[in-house]
Structure 1
Amino acid sequence: MDFNEDYKIFFPEKKIFLSRNHNWAFAAWEIGRLRNYINPGSSLIHIDSHLDYCEPYVEAPKIETEIQAIEYAEKLGIAEFIIPAQKNGTIQTVYMISDDTVHVDKNEKFKQAYTLNHYEHIHRERWIDEIDTKSSSIILDLDLDYFNKNYLDWDFNPVLLTDEQIKQQLEYFKNSMWEWDMITVALSPEFCGGIESCKHLFKLFLEVFDLDLNDAVEW
């Protein structure tokens, strides 16, 4: 399995969008809004080694079609997809679980827990109280590089959690965290430590989320 730059698949029954690069998540969320999978002003749970909270170089137009969403996402860098979705109103508040140390000014639309334990023990109840699930859709946005703990090397020398740890965390994301209205997943092979480690993480994700690639369609 080779993940080319435009690799994007979708599991319609479970509303799960996967892509090689994370900028495509912008398009997925806009498509989700256009298809009524999610409401405008959704809450985003972003689980990633990186905050990905950079201003885009190209301002987002008002997205009215799926083609327009894809065309704009193609222009984005891999860390530029969240802020334009907030500016468009598709995403309201982003809740990060990431130990990225890049400085971002905390505000009412940006919240961060540094680890899953930090989320569980400090932020979980607060975030639950903040999100009105009756009016706000909830999106899981996962980057598989979250499971690679080598932040120094790019595209080689992965330091992955054990399979048991990875599957436990994936099970938690799937069954115990929230009721997700849609899910976006970035494969990010270079940040996973290379293509082989990415394939391994992808296999574990498919296993835990009960996904069969034969059921996937390109998007």
Structure 2
Amino acid sequence: MEWKNDIEWKVYTSDKRIHLMRDHNWAFAAWEIAKLEGKVSEKSLVVHVDSHFDDVTDGLLVKGLHDAKTKEEIIAVSRSFDRSLGQVPPSNIMHIDNFIWASVGRCTIEEVIHVSRDKLELNELSELKQPYTDKLPSGCNYRTQLFVNCDSFFEAYNHKRFSEYAGGRTVILDLDIDAFNNSDTMSEPELVPENKVRKYIQELLNLYSWDLITIAISPDYCGGTEEAVYLLNIVLDEFNLRSEDMVRW
């Protein structure tokens, strides 16, 4: 469990198509570096499977967001803070819940399909005010869809319908394995049964030939380290991956 106490732990497969990370803010770095390397294009579609929306709009205000041009600069912008230390973080840094709007601000993301049981309201483009609107790219047409669980998502989209909907866009699967914990009480997890976790992962893998896949562990929100290890092992098994075979970055 190399990732247990390391908020910067992140690895990818040799082809850089699948990224696995402890904390979800690193999805931003994976997306932006993939765009830099030509693996995804501007105005990509993201399917965000997560217990939380992660759509806090102050991601648009992260220091250095719009100036980052190199891989090293993107990684620097993506760094968050160690929540376990009880520190009060600066207001203009990347967090585990604002990275989506950060990529919207860089024109990397055009649409997010949320598969989430989050009870909050999604932040919509039409509701933004200054200074957030000043940080959006020209002609921004960001939009969202919401499905409250995997079952309703797969009822709406099969492989054919989703491929048609994606059109010519590059498409990212963004999975937080806390999606398989149905409890909002950190000390009392309610994990989805293993057979259902496997079924959902298989359906996601069969839905589309994803251009990029980002997977966050988010151990606190899985219910703890033990629960995170349990869920992660199921997910990696279905992806036919071993984290020790992946490359640290």
Q: Please, what TM-score do these two structures have when normalized by structure 1? A: 0.90
Q: Which of 160, 182, 187 is 2:212 aligned to? A: 182
**Does the 8 A contact of 1:30 with 1:63 survive in 2?**
no
**Does the 8 A contact of 1:45 with 1:140 survive in 2?**
yes
* Superposed CA offset, 1:50-87 (max 9, x none): 00000124252243111111111113111000001011
Q: Distance in 1 between matches of 2:35 and 2:118?
A: 29
Task: Note the C-alpha offset of 1:130.
Answer: 3.5
Task: Note the C-alpha offset of 1:126.
Answer: 6.9
Task: Note the C-alpha offset of 1:127.
Answer: 5.5
The DSSP-based 3-state class of the residue aligned with 2:220 is: coil
Please tell me whether residue 212 in structure 1 is matched to residue 245 in structure 2: no
Aligned amino acid, residue 212 of structure 1: R
Q: Distance in 2 between matches of 1:105 and 1:127?
A: 24
The DSSP-based 3-state class of the residue aligned with 1:207 is: helix
Which residue is equivalent to 2:134? none
The DSSP-based 3-state class of the residue aligned with 1:190 is: helix
Shift of the 111–126 alpha-carbon distance from structure 1 to 2, 3 Å rule, reads: farther
Task: Note the C-alpha offset of 1:181.
Answer: 0.4
Q: Please, what TM-score do these two structures have when normalized by structure 2? A: 0.80
**Does the 8 A contact of 1:113 with 1:123 survive in 2?**
no
Please tell me whether residue 7 in structure 1 is matched to residue 41 in structure 2: no
Aligned amino acid, residue 117 of structure 2: D
**Does the 8 A contact of 1:158 with 1:193 survive in 2?**
yes
Aligned amino acid, residue 36 of structure 1: G
Which residue is equivalent to 2:87? none
Q: Which runs of 4+ in 1 moved over 6 A?
A: none
Q: Distance in 1 between matches of 2:165 and 2:68?
A: 27
State the superposition RMSD in angstroms. Answer: 1.9
Percent identity of paired positions between Structure 1 and Structure 2:
29
In structure 2, stretches of 5+ residues that fail to align are 80-92, 126-141
Please tell me whether residue 103 in structure 1 is matched to residue 103 in structure 2: no
Which residue is equivalent to 1:77? 95
Which residue is equivalent to 2:174? 141
Which residue is equivalent to 1:202? 232
* Match runs of 1:41-60 below 5 Å: 41-55=43-57, 56=59, 57-59=61-63, 60=65
Q: Distance in 2 between matches of 1:61 and 1:114?
A: 32
- The structure with the larger Rg is 2
